[in-house]
Amino acid sequence: MEKKDNYLLQQCYHCGNQGLMEIVVKHQHTYGGPIFNKYGEEIDIDMQEYFDWILLSCPVCKKVSLVQKYSNECEYNPNTKTYGEYVDLLYPECNVNYLGVPEEIKSAFEAALKVKNIDISICLLSLRRVLEAICKEQGAEGKNLDSMIKNMLDKGILPEVMNDACWIIRQLGNDAAHAGKIRIYKSDVEQTIDFLKTIIQYLYTLPVQMDRLKVKIEKRREKQKKVQE
């Protein structure tokens, strides 16, 4: 029986399968730590950051994925004795950082991505539903998707520049409901996915990333100050 340590639970964005994928190669590296002068004396200490780059093999389509795991000592939890860990998919290109994204939004978006190479009409319909779910999660008011989007723009939840992106997602979703009457192209789907990624990152991920980076900078300054005292 194979050891569980040799596998990682991950979704394959080549074929859409989600399950245990075999770890083919793992490369680890640590940045930071004590800083020494030419005499071997410790003169400073830098925050330690831990990186794991993991090459995975999908048991279904046999293609590989590259995952990066990151953690740092500033986010160590003494109660659980664990570090805050962030996992990013580097290949195949996904460009979605789910940090801060509600589980229902993440699940709905991933479900749409799974079918993009199988049925583009179903994918577009699913992307439209994701946008509607985002509006509801953000507390947007309105009887339909169009009015909810307008409400989010009026409240400043979304910037005006996102208006056209929302219109495209909504319109192509409507077109997909009449498959056969309106021709839909794969490039339309890819661009729609990119627009929705941008909305997700803007609303959920960027605020969390900025808050965490601010905390890291403040803790680093506090540590530096203590060393200099």
Q: What is the pTM of this model?
A: 0.62
Percent of the chain past pLDDT 70, that is, above it, reads: 90
CB atoms within 10 A of CB 126: 21
pLDDT tens-digit profile of 164-208?
A: 999 999 999 988 887 666 777 888 888 999 999 999 999 999 999
| 3-state DSSP of 50-75 | EEEEEEEECCCCCCEEEEEEEEEHHH
pLDDT at 95 over 70: no
Q: How large is the average pLDDT for residues 112-119? A: 82
Band (pLDDT 50/70/90 cuts) for residue 31 is confident
Domain boundary assignment for the chain: 1-94, 100-229
Band (pLDDT 50/70/90 cuts) for residue 79 is low
Q: If you average pLDDT over each of 24-38, 111-125, 149-163, which comes out highest? A: 149-163
Structural contact between residues 42 and 36, judged by C-beta atoms closer than 8 angstroms: yes
pLDDT in the model for residue 77: 57
Rounded CA gap, 89 and 183, in Å?
32
CATH architecture of 100-229: Up-down Bundle (1.20)
The values of phi and psi at residue 208, to 5°, are: -70, -45
